[in-house]
Amino acid sequence: MTSTIRDLLTQAQAAEARQDLSEAIRLLKEAEQYYRERQLDGRAQQMARNVARLEAARGPVSDGFGDELLDGSSGVPGGAALAAVERGPQRADPALEAWCSFCCKPKQEVGDLVAGPAGAFICRSCVAVSAVLHGGSAEPVLPKAAERHRPALEPKRLHELPAQRQARERWERRRPKVGLVVGPSGSGKSALVEALGRPVTRPFERLPDADVLVVDLAQPLGPDEELRLLRWLEEHPRRQVMFSSPGDAPTPLLVLKGEHGDEPVYDTQALSAAVGGRLSDAVLAKVEQLLPLTMPDRPALEALARALLENRGVQLSDAALNQLVDHAERSGRSTHEVVALVSRIPPGRYA
C-alpha cells in the first residue's frame, strides 16, 4: 500500500479510539474508494463492513482499531484493562476482528495477532520481517490459517530436491521484482513456485492483494493479461511476480564468478526461446532472474520418495521402493509420479 492508504487507516484507528465515529466513518469511506479505484474489491468490502458496523453501533464497539484497550472488553475488571496492556505486548483477544497495524491486513488473512500498549496490532509475518530489519533471522513465518490449509503431501515442505533448494536460495538471496522458473514436467517446478508465492487463476480480472504472485505459463499470456499484471506489479514496490514455464533451461550468455558462486546471465532472446513465446519480449525484458530446473537423478528421486513415505507413516522394503522409483523414472513425470504413487499407499509396513 502507499503511504496514503496507511495514513487513512491510521487516522481511522485513532478516530475510533477516541470515539469520534463520524470521522472514522468518513476516513473508512475514503479508504473504501481508494481500494475500489484500484480494483482491490476484497479490501474495499472490508472497509464497507467496518463503515456499516460503525454506522449501526455509534458506540464503543471495536473492530480492531484500538478502543478495546480503553474499556473492559479485555476481561479485566474496570480500568485495569489498560493498565494490564501497558505492561507490554500480549496476545490479542481471539474474538477480536482486528487488523495488523503494519501490513493493514485483517486477522482472517494473517492469523493471530499481538496487541501493543497503544492500540496497535502486529501479525506473525510482520514480526518476522521486523526481526530481519533488526538484523535477525530471515526464516519466514507463515500465518496459522495458511498452515491449516497446507496440503499433506508437498515436496517443497517435506523435502527439497537439490535443484529446488539451489533455486529457492538464489531467489531468497536476490528477491527479484520479476523472476522466471523454467523446467520440464516432473522437475519439481510446481512445488518450488508454490513455496515462493501465491498462485493466481487466469484470466487476471481480480488480482489478489499479495506480495508475491505465481503465474503459470502453461498457456501464453495475452496482451490484456500482461498489462493487468504489470499494473498490479507497479502499484507497490514490494510486489513480485514469479512466472513458471515448462521448457528446458537456455544456455547463458555468460557466467560470472561471484561471492555466492556462479551467476549465469541470459539474454532476452534465450529467455523467449526457453518459454516458447509464452511471454512477450516487453515482459521478458523485466525478468531479473532465471531459476532453471532439471530432472532429478536417481538418488534425488529415492530421497524424495523416502521423505514422503516417512511423512505418511509408510515403510517399504528396498525392493518395493526401487520398483516405485523405477516406474517414476520411466513415466517421464518423475517427481509428480513419485508423489502420486506414495499418496496411494495406506500407512503401514510393506514388503
Interval 173-196: pLDDT, tens: 888 999 999 998 888 888 888 777
In this structure, what C-alpha cell is assigned to residue 41? 474489491
DSSP 3-state percent helix, strand, coil across the chain (nearest 5): 45, 15, 40
Least-confidence region, from 63-67, 112-116, 197-201, 203-207: 63-67
pLDDT confidence tier of residue 47, bands split at 50, 70 and 90? confident
Question: Which CATH code of 3.40.50, 3.90.350, 2.60.40, 3.30.160 fits the domain covering 155-292?
Answer: 3.40.50
Percent of the chain clearing pLDDT 70 (strictly above) = 80
Least-confidence region, from 36-40, 92-96, 120-124, 266-270: 92-96
In this structure, what C-alpha cell is assigned to residue 231? 499494473
pLDDT at position 110 over 90:
no
| Cβ(207)–Cβ(239) below 8 Å | no
| Cβ(19)–Cβ(67) below 8 Å | yes
pLDDT at position 275 over 90:
yes
Query: What's the gap between Cα 184 and its chain centre?
Result: 24
Distance CA 229, CA 226 (A): 5
In this structure, what C-alpha cell is assigned to residue 136? 535477525
Where are the chain's structural domains? 1-61, 81-149, 155-292, 298-350
So what's the pLDDT on residue 289? 92
pLDDT confidence tier of residue 3, bands split at 50, 70 and 90? low
Distance CA 15, CA 24 (A): 5
Distance CA 253, CA 259 (A): 20
Kindly give, in sequence order, each residue whose CB lies less than 8 Å from that of residue 163, ignoring residues fewer than 6 positions away.
Answer: 183, 187, 188, 292, 293, 294, 296
